[in-house]
Chain A
């Protein structure tokens, strides 16, 4: 295993600490999306603390904004703000609230209301084309989120304008608040749906595996003439066995005992990845 895998388990500990301390947060979706965000910031995007205002930076939008704790953990690790800021998460007066807030360094857009990100990304990608810039725009969505009609309005526009500088990612963990996505509102033939909107579809079977994710982002970059969507088959709650694939962990807060167990497992996995 590589060091990024070890890091991903270390950052999960930061997420766990934030949520346990504040007694609020969306841990399941954080753990399914974290490796996607980490791969982008470590391996793909040129976005760094010293170029946050550069017109050439790659753009990142966390459309499933409730997974902000994962984004905070990655941004702190990348140096966009001190790690100590994470301790203020959800505290009175802190800007580190439960959804992305662009008063925080490194956050492009406010989100939290699902179904906005893709169209915002279309706007950014169109601007990049107008200005003849090379930056890429990444939008990460949840699979439950795909029920919003606005997602498909954005998909239509992305396909229509053949935005090959736009890359969407679906965190396909098959769960949402009320249970399994296929019971709540099914997404049968998900890949075909995107294809029919004019998108290049890349399936990542192990959506937690950083090299596979990185390869998919590389493939997306090579695809010209249409936008790409990566359907990352992920595991909600990934990394803590008793949280994995359990709908209740969408926003359950760990008890003292669960916290200890989760921390031990994440530490063990970090150590194993470092060996």
Chain B
């Protein structure tokens, strides 16, 4: 079982790249530990900025740095980055089009029983609704690596959400398919299209295996690029199937599934079921307990597919 969380994979890439790129700057808001950025702060103290518990200032300082040629990666819990500093993300990063990379760590319900203040079950909705803000939810550490390497090459703002805990590998280290802003096809099938992002990709893949045993053929799409969404892949997957099921660690309002439903209803109408979190504080508990409760597991997704085919 993998024990490297995606947040650590981000730090690893930045550590490697900072060797030759002195413009990479990591910023934290008393969050270097939770963001796995302590190794970076130790290795490159000159390229590290601590702003204290001040997430709004965190994003604005990043924008200032970016406007002066730096490549800021500001890493803070996704809950605060996507709501408290949403306006700084909207105005200073997206609207002014600065090269600010917002790294939202411990996203979704990673923080479990810490409650709704610490959950970011609406970050896809808030960040995606901002023009010029891209939104990425990588599924495993290998894909996270490739994504950060790709993001280092562009100069536009982006929001990247990763979870707190290590997640099982979806891909093999030496063989991780990745094309920027194109969904990864994990499996092609004819009965149902399962589209997932972030930590829900692994359960989606598991669900497809379970369904296969019952003779149900599923496509599985890893839609790590929630915005800009790979519309062509959504349409292709939906066209082949009778049913579309989306799975995400987010409320069903304004998330990845909502966008999929818009695309499907416009281009190839099919029934779309959005598996997601409720429009309410989630039941208290550890993230795995909470996922199980809402059916956001391999079994849960497979069950939902069977009920609706």
- A interface residues, Cβ below 8 angstroms from B: 22, 24, 65, 90-95, 97-99, 101, 110-115, 144-145, 147-149, 176-178, 184-185
Contacts and interface: CB of A to CB of B under 8 A. Distances in A.
B117 A185 contact: no
Interface of B: 28, 30-34, 50-54, 56-57, 79-80, 84, 111, 113-118, 283-286, 289
B127 to A, nearest CB: 17
B53 A97 contact: no
Residue from B52, B84, B116, B286 with most neighbouring chain A CB atoms (10 Å)? B52
A148 B57 CA distance: 9
Contacts of B116: 110, 112
Contact of B114 (A92, A94, A112, A145): A112
B52 A185 contact: yes
A8 B241 CA distance: 64
Contacts of B113: 22, 24, 90-91, 94, 97-98
Contacts of B283: 92-93
Contact of A110 (B50, B54, B79, B115): B115
Given A99-B117, A113-B79, A185-B53, A176 B284 contact: no
A68 to B, nearest CB: 9
Contacts of B50: 178, 184-185
B92 to A, nearest CB: 14
A176 B34 CA distance: 13
A159 B267 CA distance: 58
Given A97-B113, A148-B54, A184-B52, A177 B33 contact: yes
Nearest to B52: A185
Q: Top 6 nearest A-B pairs by Cβ distance?
A: A185-B52, A112-B117, A147-B52, A92-B285, A98-B114, A90-B113
B11 to A, nearest CB: 15
Given A91-B285, A93-B284, A113-B79, A99 B53 contact: no
Contacts of B80: 113
Contact of B51 (A24, A98, A185): A185
A148 B53 contact: yes
Contacts of B289: 92
A7 B102 CA distance: 46
B33 A97 contact: no
A148 B51 CA distance: 10
B30 A178 contact: yes
A145 B80 CA distance: 14
Nearest to A177: B30
Contacts of A185: 30, 50-54
B30 A149 contact: no
A250 B54 CA distance: 18
Given A113-B84, A145-B53, A148-B53, A97 B114 contact: yes
B83 to A, nearest CB: 8
A111 B117 contact: yes
Nearest to B283: A93
B53 A176 contact: yes
Residue from A91, A95, A113, A145 with most neighbouring chain B CB atoms (10 Å)? A113
Contact of B53 (A93, A111, A115): A115
Contact of A144 (B30, B33, B84): B30
A113 B54 CA distance: 11
Contacts of B115: 97-99, 101, 110, 112
